[in-house]
Amino acid sequence: MHEWSLAEAVINSLIRLAEDRGATAFEEVEITHGEIMELDTLVFRTAFRELSKGTLVEGTRLVLKEEKAKFKCNNCGAEWDFETVEKILSEEFSVIEEPSGTKESALHFLPNLAPALLKCPSCKSRDFDLASGKGLRISKVVMRT
Amino acid sequence: MSEMSDILFEEARRRLSQVRNIVAVTAGKGGVGKSFVSTSLALALAERGKKVGLLDLDVHGSSVPIMLGLKEEVRAGKEGFRPVRKHNVEIMSIGLLTKDSPVLIKGKDKMDLITSLVALTSWGNLDYLVIDLPPGTGDEVLWVIRVIRNLRSAGALVVTMPSMLSRSVVRKSLRLLVDEGIRILGLVENMSYFKCGKEEIRPFGYGSGEDLAKEFKTRLLVRLPIEPRVEKAMDEGYPPYLASNELKTTFSSLAAAVESLLQKA
Ligand SMILES: Nc1ncnc2c1ncn2[C@@H]1O[C@H](COP(=O)(O)OP(=O)(O)OP(=O)(O)O)[C@@H](O)[C@H]1O
Ligand SMILES: [Mg+2]
């Protein structure tokens, strides 16, 4: 459910961007979201639409692109992907979603927590890097002036 | 284009700018009682009827959940993480999520982690947010400096101990805060003395608090005793600042002092 907070942050960021560049509206905005965030795109779209009402972002065509996650161990050199992570992720580190009461991994909210919540599947070291797939960025905008 | 760190940093800043007053508790020196002071100050402000949040930004050595015996799971709604409520204080801490795991996280990842945590935490309507920081002048401290630098009603409370070592390390922290334009609310000298009958014994010597206050033209707000019952209080699950009447009164006056200092923005 972090979709609403993220949508709010993106909208505020777009408003600032438009103000900086003297734009009045956006034709299109492309958001690249890291796989680890497990963004529910349907919820994100709803949040984006609802929260942008009455702002200059309202009515923008929203393109969402997922970026794959890549992990690389600094100790043994192993590389792995997000599918592997889902298998080794402990339930211990979860957040309870309201109002449904379901558990969701803290990693989806805070991808940078990876080294605290995961270990290399081959050598069990926490000394690994997460090269991509953890963030959220505005990757493209088409503005109207 | 805008990266997550920028998008969420602005969101974090926006969320914190909605808090009426922010007090960052820092020291430079490890183990002088920052977590004890920040936790106790938060509770004492709440006791005075304020709406208070406590944000633990000690990524590697999170202490607030242990100090307050928090076992609760973090919940999240539409508006983001809902802080855990205890003793009338809203509490958020990385430690609530990482539990007993070592947090091996470095550099930019750490900054981004703090940014996301704050950008996704929904505090509601707060009069005060107290921030507990780790020792040193690293990423966490820099993050807080960046955020509170331009806020109207925010400042740092600096904890020290009456030892030469503490004086020299805490001095660096004070210097950093001054150089970066952060308002110093005052100093707290922790573990100043302990009472043995009527006598005050000062195991770590004199000075530090008063000396540093003079040097940096600020005030020594309170001196706190070493109170063996603090440990017992934590063991038994009640707030450590209620360990003795003296501590309780001292924190109450610290809370009052912080309130009046921040009102004179
Ligand atoms: N005045 C006091 N009387 C008795 N015990 C105290 C007092 N102040 C702090 N302590 C205890 O000393 C220990 C260190 O305090 P605390 O964890 O608050 O320090 P810190 O500065 O936050 O440490 P760190 O640098 O690791 O973050 C804790 O166990 C705490 O309960
Ligand atoms: Mg501490």
Confidence of residue A28 (pLDDT cuts 50, 70, 90): very high
Interface contact B112-A112, CB threshold 8 A = yes
Question: Would the CA dihedral through A19, A23, A26, A30 be positive or negative?
Answer: negative
Interface contact B79-A116, CB threshold 8 A = no
Residues of chain B with Cβ-Cβ distance to A106 below 8 Å are 74, 97-98
Q: Where are the alpha helices (DSSP H) in chain B?
A: 4-17, 34-47, 64-67, 95-98, 107-119, 139-148, 164-179, 209-215, 229-236, 245-263
Architecture in CATH for domain A2-68+133-144: 2-Layer Sandwich (3.30)
**Using one digit for the tens of pLDDT, what is the confidence trace for B180-229?**
999 999 999 999 999 888 899 998 888 789 999 999 999 999 999 999 99
pLDDT score of B5:
59
Confidence of residue B77 (pLDDT cuts 50, 70, 90): very high
Residues of chain B with Cβ-Cβ distance to A115 below 8 Å are 103-105, 109
Residues of chain B with Cβ-Cβ distance to A137 below 8 Å are 1-4, 7
- Alpha-carbon gap: A139 to the closest alpha carbon of chain B (Å): 6
Residues of chain A with Cβ-Cβ distance to B98 below 8 Å are 93, 106, 113, 116-117
Give Cα B63 distance to the centre of its chain: 11
- A104 in contact with B, Cβ within 8 Å: yes
Does pLDDT of B1 surpass 60?
no
pLDDT score of A1:
63
pLDDT score of B3:
63
Q: Are strands A79-80 and A70-73 parallel, antiparallel or unpaired?
A: antiparallel
Residues of chain B with Cβ-Cβ distance to A113 below 8 Å are 94, 97-98, 103, 105, 113
**Using one digit for the tens of pLDDT, what is the confidence trace for B220-263?**
999 999 999 999 999 888 899 999 999 999 999 999 999 999 99
Confidence of residue A85 (pLDDT cuts 50, 70, 90): confident
Confidence of residue A89 (pLDDT cuts 50, 70, 90): confident
Instruction: Give the closest residue (by CA) to ligand 1 atom 12.
Output: B33
Interface contact A138-B7, CB threshold 8 A = yes
**Using one digit for the tens of pLDDT, what is the confidence trace for A120-140?**
999 999 999 998 888 899 999
pLDDT score of A7:
96
- A96 in contact with B, Cβ within 8 Å: yes
Interface contact B11-A9, CB threshold 8 A = yes
Share of chain B above pLDDT 70, in %: 98
Share of chain B above pLDDT 90, in %: 82
Domain segments of chain A: what residues?
Answer: 2-68+133-144, 70-132
Residue in B5, B113, B122 nearest the CB of A113: B113
Q: How many A×B Cβ pairs under 8 Å?
A: 118
Q: Enter the ipTM.
A: 0.93
Interface contact A8-B8, CB threshold 8 A = no
Instruction: Give the closest residue (by CA) to ligand 1 atom 15.
Output: B33
pLDDT score of B106:
84
Does pLDDT of B2 surpass 70?
no
User: How far are the Cα atoms of A88, A112, B226 from residue B243, in angstroms, in the given order?
Assistant: 43, 38, 11
What superfamily in CATH does domain B3-263 come from?
P-loop containing nucleotide triphosphate hydrolases (3.40.50.300)
Average pLDDT over residues A68-88: 93
pLDDT score of B112:
93
Closest residue in A to B103 (Cα–Cα) = A116
Residues of B with CB under 8 A from a CB of A: 1-8, 10-11, 14, 73-82, 94, 97-99, 101-105, 109-110, 112-113, 116-117, 119-120, 122
Separation between Cα atoms, residue B183 and residue B200, nearest integer Å: 32
Domain segments of chain B: what residues?
Answer: 3-263
Query: From the alpha carbon of B134, which atom of ligand 1 is closest?
Result: 27
Closest residue in A to B117 (Cα–Cα) = A110
**Using one digit for the tens of pLDDT, what is the confidence trace for B85-105?**
999 999 999 999 999 999 999
Average pLDDT over residues B19-32: 94
pLDDT score of B13:
94
Residues with CB under 6 A from ligand 1: B 27, 30-36, 58, 61, 63, 134-135, 190-191, 224, 226-227, 230, 240
3-class secondary structure, B136: coil
Give the angle subtended at the CA of B188 by the CAs of B224 and B150, to the nearest 5°. Answer: 150
Closest CA to B128 of B24, B253, B35: B24
pLDDT score of B205:
84
Share of chain A above pLDDT 70, in %: 99
- A72 in contact with B, Cβ within 8 Å: no
Residue in A8, A93, A135 nearest the CB of B97: A93
**Using one digit for the tens of pLDDT, what is the confidence trace for B158-173?**
999 998 888 899 999 9
Closest CA to B24 of B263, B185, B176: B185
Query: From the alpha carbon of B240, which atom of ligand 1 is closest?
Result: 31
Contacts of B65 (CB under 8 A, 6+ apart): B56, B91, B93, B95, B96
pLDDT score of B102:
93
Does pLDDT of A69 surpass 60?
yes
pLDDT score of B4:
56
Confidence of residue B152 (pLDDT cuts 50, 70, 90): confident
pLDDT score of B28:
82
DSSP string, B173-196: HHHHHHHTTPPEEEEEEEEEEEEE
Q: Regarding predicted confidence, which is higher, B264 or B211? A: B211
pLDDT score of B262:
96
Interface contact A112-B116, CB threshold 8 A = yes
pLDDT score of B196:
87
